[in-house]
A and B are shown apart, each in its own frame.
Chain A
Amino acid sequence: MASLVGSRVERKEDKRFLTGKGRYTADINLANQTYAIFVRSPHARASIKKLNIDKALKSSGVVSILTGKEIADDKIGGLIAGWAIRSEDGTEMKCPGNPPLAKDNVNFVGDPVAVVIAESLAEAKEAAEKVEVDYKVLKAVTSTADAMNGDTIHEGIDKNLCFDWLLGDRQKVKEAFDKADKVISIDIINNRLIPNAMEPRACVADYNAASEEITLYTTSQNPHLSRLIMSAFGNVAPEHKLRVVAPDVGGGFGSKINVYNEDIVCSWAAKKINRAIKWVAERSESFLTDIHGRDHVTHAELAVTKDGKFLGFKNETIANLGAYARVFGTVTPTYLFGPCATGVYEIPAAYTNVKAVYTNTAPVDAYRGAGRPEATYTIERLVEKASMELGIDKTELRIKNFPTAFPFKQTLVHTVDSGDYVAGMEKAKQMADYKGFEARRKESEAKGKLRGIGVTSYFEACGIAPSAAVMSLGCGVGLWESAEVRFNPTGQVTVYTGSHSHGQSHQTTFAQIAADELGVPIENIDIVHGDTDKGTFGMGTYGSRSLAVGGIAIVNACKKIVEKGKRVTAKMLEANPEDVEFKDGEFIVSKSNKKKTIGEVAFACYLPGVRDEMKSPLPEGDEPGLKETSFYDPSNFSFPAGTHIAEVEIDPETGHVKLEKYTACDDFGRIINPMVVEGQVHGGLAQGIGQALYENAEYDETGQLMTGSYMDYTMPRADNFPEFNIGYTCTHATTNPLGVKGCGEAGAIAAPPTVMNAVIDALGGQEVTMPATAEKVWKACKNLKKSNAKAA
């Protein structure tokens, strides 16, 4: 039987999506359901003086209106930060309360203050207009860089500072800098982004008075984690009385990790009114209230010798948390950022200091790459600048500082098990025709255009897992993953996974893995996820962890099935279990022609007896049935890496940047389905290039979101991209049995510095902030003309 792992298997999930039969949360309608509209603060910072619902209550079709007072009276808990981070001085981080409905203060535009529940959506909207809120408007804090000098947003949190965190050794870094021939320094802004999954958030909550159970259908990347948080911290219902279902989910990119206000409010309210409640975000609500990403202001320095060896690295960053710290809000700018900021290089001394600040903007949390794009942008912009200042070729300078052996003990935290960064660089250069660039630059110049080339070498720590490691760093839960493999008596297999697919193709790739492990045709394998009443438990999908953690749990559960199958076969065929081998779905007694198929073994496990004989196929100690579970907790993160190369052409007359070529050469370890991996790379690149050239979330000084719709926030479109040139080097991970590493975030991590390095190269080294819009680039072109004229 040919192995399915490594094959371009077409997706099992596609037919339903292509024929309009997907079932997303907004497609769900329950009998006798009501509709919710949230009344949201129009101010970035205000205290609520008075909230009057009298008029709204009299509006047609209104079922109930609930406010911050009722939710507080019912002792429903608020939203939480999932990671506890300590400051350099040892003090714990400072987090404000974040009630699901604000009672006394609002802290960003969109902060909900009340929910209106009515018989129809139109009636709910009309009544919501009649809720009167008297606000005392206060001065908003919106700037990341100046947040520590602004008014105190949350009582008791001085300087709006959540924590002042340090990773690394300042003294060692000082000593390294003292020895340096040259110090390269850079000031950069990692622009704020809005994830913009195409499916707006939604939820449908239902209460069953007979079983006293709440069911919440919601757009989540991790339904079990949502249930845990809503139960343990939200006090919505005990876990066994709360079912969370995340059906088809239309993209997440990190924005659907969090439990949101609406999930808690609708679940709580459904029980209160004893009816189902449906809420679907309008896109403008998504812009205002989905978590945002990035938003760092960084000063970084690299100490080098004159022949280009890196000696030391320092990174001083202010990270914007927005109004509240949410699930991955505090880890994203710390442990997902700091360790990766030294990049793929041997740097003897390094530190990263992060001051995380509150502002009156939407909460900032994990968005595709989460911390690692910011880290990679910092080091790779710095390295590119070093290559310009030292006059050393940008690829040679990188190679000179790559680790020479693996495992590679990275400067700050990680031990990278495997990789070959030089091979990745060489292959990328070949794919991109790096040698031919100067000729292409001349061709562009002949047309009056400026051409630049940019390089990035990255690694990232993903497969976010090892429980002991993450919990030691402050994570509130262990990040293992579970799988359950159930054989039916007639031979089909259902695999329950705690990972969640919202585009990642688990229904196919996980089935490929199980098919290979069990020797069962892929058509007979179903992958089930996204329902807390079905799978045992799961930590969900983010941080490129589905395959490297969830996939391995499936492998391990399958291996347990095979072990039991060997014992049963031995009993059935009167052989020693040690003599039974398993291959391609058959249990074979070695050196004999005796064998049983896995289907026969499954059947025997469920029907363990024979007519007219007192005989069981089950060995002593084995129970009937064929079902195994695995809770897999890896020993390490996984470390994808690669080199990307971009070429841009700039029209100095208009400032328009055209991305001419984009080459990505990645090492994801073993690849399960090349077609799916290509798709993940393409999508990540589009988001990364979007950050570099198009996307930017902007608030004005009063805290109004200036980019609150697709008319203002530039989403990349089909005509913004060239055809991507992608390739791989594959060094297998040594820390898991499949040798896999993860591929979901690579594009979003590597593309921003790759593209910006190319833009800045074309502009003769002039710094431009992301996104490199035509206006900014046009101004830089004018400066370039001036300085060229002066030089002449």
Chain B
Amino acid sequence: MGKISLEVNGRKVEKEASDNTLLSTFLREHLQLTGTHIGCDTSQCGACVVNVDGNSLKSCTALAADVNGSKVTTIEGLETNGKMHPMQEAFKKLHGLQCGFCTPGMVMSAVDLLQKNKKPSDTEIRDWLEGNICRCTGYQNIVAAVKEAATKM
């Protein structure tokens, strides 16, 4: 067991957790931030993507202890004053989600793409999202939503 201190969605948190606790588990089970989803056990699906110190990260690939002291943003932290982030708005406007399960990871990943590439092409968007699996949408409206968000960010 060890103490994990993080800044999560702008709030300082400190919790005891066993050393083998994954960041994804820490967020879901210790902080009750269940917006971060677990869709696989091989770090392939991307449903658990969060932002750690400015970069997107599959939170099932890191131990909570490994990111001790970091700033973490999860899907719950994207809104400002109750207003959705332009990426969230674009997903809603263009039907970039259906069952919603892959959505948090997809959105967190897409937000990071636009931080690094302000005007990505269709191909660049599809390549970037290669690590996020969606079974519902066929990706077309996700790509459209990311492009739409790029015009608003």
Contacts and interface: CB of A to CB of B under 8 A. Distances in A.
Contact of A198 (B42, B79, B125, B134): B134
Max chain B Cβ within 10 angstroms of own Cβ: one of A20, A253, A711, A724: A20
Interface of A: 10-11, 13-24, 26-27, 122, 196-200, 248-251, 253, 280, 282-284, 502-505, 675-676, 678-679, 682-687, 709-711, 715, 717-719, 721, 723-724, 747
Among A683, A684, A711, find the residue whose CB has the most chain B CB atoms closer than 10 A: A683
Nearest to B92: A14
Interface in B128-142: 129-130, 132-142
B64 interface: no
B75 A19 contact: yes
Contacts of A721: 126, 138-140
A682 B140 contact: yes
A249 B101 CA distance: 8
Given A15-B84, A18-B107, A710-B45, A679 B136 contact: yes
Nearest to B74: A20
B97 A14 contact: yes
A224 to B, nearest CB: 20
A18 B75 CA distance: 7
A675 to B, nearest CB: 5
Majority DSSP secondary structure for residues of B touching A: loop
Contacts of A197: 99, 101, 135
A14 B88 CA distance: 9
Contacts of B130: 717-719
A682 B41 contact: no
Contacts of A17: 97, 100, 103
Given A19-B79, A22-B100, A717-B130, A503 B136 contact: yes
A723 B97 contact: no
A79 to B, nearest CB: 24
Contact of B95 (A15, A251, A675, A709): A675
Q: Lowest 9 CB-CB distances: which A-B pairs, in order?
A: A20-B35, A250-B101, A17-B100, A503-B99, A682-B138, A686-B138, A710-B44, A503-B98, A20-B75
A20 B138 contact: no
B84 A711 contact: no
Contact of A709 (B41, B88, B123, B125): B41
Given A27-B34, A718-B130, A683 B138 contact: yes
Nearest to B99: A503
Given A14-B92, A283-B42, A718 B100 contact: no
A478 to B, nearest CB: 28
B147 to A, nearest CB: 11
Given A15-B84, A718-B143, 10 more contacts: A14-B91, A17-B97, A18-B103, A20-B75, A197-B99, A198-B39, A198-B101, A249-B99, A684-B138, A723-B122
Contacts of B40: 283, 709-710
A682 B36 contact: no
B42 A248 contact: no
Contact of A502 (B35, B78, B99, B143): B99
Contacts of A724: 138, 140
Nearest to B78: A19
B33 interface: yes
B98 A20 contact: no
A249 B129 CA distance: 23
A13 B130 CA distance: 26
24 contacts: A14-B91, A15-B92, A18-B92, A19-B35, A19-B79, A20-B34, A20-B36, A197-B99, A198-B99, A198-B101, A198-B134, A248-B99, A675-B95, A679-B137, A684-B138, A709-B41, A709-B44, A717-B139, A719-B126, A719-B127, A719-B129, A719-B130, A721-B126, A721-B140
B101 A686 contact: no
Contacts of B88: 18-19
Contacts of A718: 125-127, 129-130, 132, 134, 139, 142-143
Nearest to A723: B140
Nearest to A248: B100
A251 B101 contact: yes
Interface in B61-103: 74-76, 78-79, 84, 88, 91-93, 95, 97-103
Contact of A26 (B38, B92, B103): B38
Identify which of A18, A196, A724 gathers the most chain B CB atoms within 10 Å of its CB. A18
Contacts of A122: 18
B47 interface: yes
Contact of B99 (A250, A280, A678): A250
A692 to B, nearest CB: 14
Contacts of A502: 99
- The range of chain B's interface size is 35 or more
Given A251-B136, A503-B98, A685-B138, A11 B39 contact: no
Contacts of B139: 682, 686, 717-718, 721
Contacts of B98: 251, 503-505, 679, 683
Contacts of A504: 98
Nearest to A249: B99
Nearest to B21: A122
A10 B33 CA distance: 26
Contacts of A503: 98-100, 136
A253 B101 CA distance: 14
A7 B108 CA distance: 29
B54 to A, nearest CB: 20
B140 to A, nearest CB: 5
Contacts of B58: none
Contacts of A715: 44, 133, 135
A23 B130 CA distance: 26
A16 B91 CA distance: 12
A275 to B, nearest CB: 18
Contacts of B132: 718
Nearest to B142: A718
Contacts of A13: 100
Contact of A22 (B35, B39, B45, B84): B35
A619 B66 CA distance: 72
A16 B129 CA distance: 22
Nearest to B88: A18
A10 B78 CA distance: 20
A660 to B, nearest CB: 14
B95 A678 contact: yes
A17 B135 CA distance: 16
B44 A199 contact: no
Given A20-B34, A196-B135, A718-B132, A679 B100 contact: no
Contacts of B141: 678-679, 682
A719 B135 CA distance: 14
Contacts of A24: 34, 37, 101
A711 B43 CA distance: 9
B39 A283 contact: yes
Nearest to A285: B41
A347 B18 CA distance: 68
Nearest to A251: B99
Nearest to A676: B95
A20 to B, nearest CB: 2
Contacts of A26: 34, 37-38
A185 B36 CA distance: 51
